[in-house]
Structure 1
Amino acid sequence: MQKEISNALQVLKDGGLLLYPTDTVWGIGCDATNPEAVKKVFQLKEREDKKALICLVADDRMLSKYVKEIPKVAYDIFEVSEEPITIIYDEAQNLAENLVAEDRSIAIRIPDDDFCFQLLRRFGKPIVSTSANRSHEATPKSYKEITPHILKGVDYIVNLHREKNCSKPSSIIKLSANGRVKIIR
């Protein structure tokens, strides 16, 4: 695993795109603070850049660098959630502008996956995590279902967990600073 982390780190530092296993589905990733790298993700997915992407952080300490205020209920959700949950927060900061939604919100997940955790820790910054498909195609449930377009469009494919099947992407909820909670997916 350490070799894969080292290879992935170099790609992230160089502004490249990764194809990597997450705690949910296979993801396309890049440095979430690099606007040129984020632009490459939108191009590869053939996705409008007005649609926001999810990013991953290692823990709540890292999260606090990229969200102006973390609602208290988020910490409760971290503790009780047994399934992967992506939370949309108000007032993103220190991220690539083309990653942040028009309303300044950002979708972030703290993954429960050793590879992702170690990669995030060593990189020290958030990593984009969007499903490994074009925007008009279904989310692949396994590595074998990822199309040649995506496989050829990334700079590095992590050689771990390729046999793993993924049942579904994370749930998504929006937590507003005013205390409102909205279930998105």
Structure 2
Amino acid sequence: MEIVKINPQEPEKAKIEYAINILMDGGVVVYPTDTLYGIGVNIFNETAVEKVFNIKKRSKSKPLSVCLSSIGDIFKVAYMDSLTEKIARNILPGPFTLILNKKENISTVLTAGENKIGVRIPDSKVSMELSRKFPVTATSANISGMKAPESLEGVYNQLGESVDLILDAGRLEKTLPSTVVDMTCNPLRVLRKGSGVELFEKENTENSNI
């Protein structure tokens, strides 16, 4: 396992490319988001996805969300209608996980057999750069059932040497997980209140009144 310090405001290109190459080879990278540190692998590599479940000791009946680089990338993995896209554009990048209907190219290993997928575009330059070539998993860097750590020391204490690379951006400002919203139902439903929930509720109310 290797730890590489990275500038969260201006991520060094060489360090991002180094991390992407590890992901392309099926490796596991811990990276900063706009909420917590996450565990990332290439979502199109099923063997790597299974590593995440094993590292976290996570039930394979619980799906993993994905980190994307832009709104346009959402259309590569999921379906959005015009209202969903409007809301997404108003709140992303940000601390939200949007549950959408997945496209057929997405493995059900990732989604725990479900036809839905959780998508994130964190307001983090590191995570957006890391996922610009392909989506990566977006799940907190902790053992399932344990509190998500607030520092890299906590990440290491839980995960130890089980990952290949940690991108160290220092202590993150937010320590709440993302707000999770099911966008496939009407009305839209908040499944988990976390960072940014007030912004989503305001945006949803405004669009519901149109």
Structure-1 separation of matches of 2:187 and 2:112: 18
Per-residue CA deviations over 1:19-60 (Å, capped at 9, x if unaligned) read 111121001110011110000000000011110011111112
Residues 94-133 of structure 1: matches in 2 within 5 Å?
Answer: 94-121=105-132, 124-133=133-142
Aligned to 2:16, the other structure's residue is in SS state helix
AA paired with 2:189? K
- 1:97 positional shift: 2.5
- Mind listing any 5+ residue stretches in structure 2 that lack a counterpart? 1-11, 193-210
Residues 145-160 of structure 1: matches in 2 within 5 Å?
Answer: 145-159=154-168
Structure-2 separation of matches of 1:62 and 1:80: 16
Aligned to 1:97, the other structure's residue is in SS state coil
Asked whether 1:65 is paired with 2:73, we answer: no
Structure-1 separation of matches of 2:67 and 2:100: 13
Q: Which residue of 2 aligns with 1:55?
A: 66
For the 8 Å contact 2:34–2:172, the answer to whether it is kept is no
AA paired with 2:48? A
Structure-2 separation of matches of 1:146 and 1:120: 21
Structure-1 separation of matches of 2:189 and 2:69: 24
Aligned to 2:160, the other structure's residue is in SS state helix
Q: Which residue of 2 aligns with 1:75?
A: 85
- 1:149 positional shift: 4.2
Q: Which residue of 2 aligns with 1:137?
A: 146
Structure-1 separation of matches of 2:76 and 2:186: 20
- 1:119 positional shift: 1.8
- 1:113 positional shift: 1.1
Q: Percent identity?
A: 29
For the 8 Å contact 1:141–1:165, the answer to whether it is kept is no
AA paired with 1:172? V
Structure-2 separation of matches of 1:56 and 1:45: 17
Residues 3-14 of structure 1: matches in 2 within 5 Å?
Answer: 3-14=14-25
- 1:86 positional shift: 0.7
How many residue pairs get matched? 180
Structure-1 separation of matches of 2:102 and 2:21: 30
For the 8 Å contact 2:35–2:173, the answer to whether it is kept is no
Structure-1 separation of matches of 2:160 and 2:83: 38
- 1:4 positional shift: 1.8
Structure-2 separation of matches of 1:110 and 1:80: 12
For the 8 Å contact 1:53–1:129, the answer to whether it is kept is yes
Q: What is the root-mean-square deviation of aligned Cα atoms in Å?
A: 1.8
Per-residue CA deviations over 1:62-85 (Å, capped at 9, x if unaligned) read 110111x21323223234338511
TM-score by length of 1: 0.89
